[in-house]
Amino acid sequence: MEKREQLYEGKAKKVYATDDKNLVIVSYKDDATAMDGLKKGTITGKGAINNRMTNYLMQLLERHGVPTHFVKELNDRETVVKKVTIVPLEVIIRNISAGSFAKRYGVEEGIVFDAPTIEFSYKNDELHDPLINRWHAQALKLATPSEIDRIEQMAFRVNDVLKDYFLQLGVKLVDFKLEFGKTEAGDLVLADEISPDTCRFWDAKTNEKLDKHRFRRDMGGVEDAYREMMRRVLGS
């Protein structure tokens, strides 16, 4: 496969065209941002960890009936994926109170919910990704009612699979965000990544933070946390 011109560069990844119009190459970076881009830095090795973890977890989800954009891992930082049009909705699933949820509703962190919650945010940097509901999404024509139904169904399935999987590794899946895209054929698939950048991971025994929250809050030990999650998932 031939790697061609760069199509896009985001906060954490670059995307390149290939000689197949339906496939692109995603290249993961070590760049890190937080607080709506106000905080910037580098997490050494993050790109390789996020790439390999994402690919492993995407394949796990495929085996459990969740279609994804994953095609083939090329090396530590680059992966071939299906070219998709991203649905401009970030989907947030929460199993335990933490972060913005705890702050917004004035509750303490660590409350285990009776059932997972789901939130949508409108992917728009200029508007700072505001929270919206499904009716707003329909009014803004971000997705059709049937697409939103399917996204919700897939998101909860992802949660069921990953929550159990991570618990076996001694990790609580506190909350996480997902993105979905549509292929050229119109199929809705899970896209983007599943990593310490996009998930809130707590050690199941100590509640030690094992994710990007350490960077966001200047807690130190960021690289160690990413490496620890890599070790638990991939054994390396």
Instruction: Tell me the per-residue pLDDT of 91-138, one tens digit each, with 9 for 90 and over.
Output: 999 999 999 999 999 999 999 999 999 999 999 989 999 999 999 999
Closest CA to 82 of 202, 156, 184: 184
> Residue 42 in contact with residue 34, Cβ under 8 Å?
no
Q: What does the pLDDT look like over 50-82, one tens digit per residue?
A: 999 999 999 999 999 999 999 999 999 999 999
State the CB neighbour count (10 A cutoff) for residue 181. Answer: 19
Joined tokens for residue 65: 């009936």
Q: 33 with 130, same domain? A: no
**Alpha-carbon distance 212 to 219, whole Å?**
10
- If asked whether residues 104 and 63 sit together in one domain, one would say no
Residues 6 or more apart in contact with residue 162 via CB below 8 angstroms: 57, 60, 61, 173, 176, 194
User: Taking phi first (over 0 means left), then psi (-120 to 50 degrees means alpha), and beta for anything else, what does residue 35 get?
Assistant: left
Q: What pTM, to 2 d.p., does this model score?
A: 0.95
Domain span holding position 182 = 85-225
CATH number for the domain that contains residue 78: 3.30.200.20
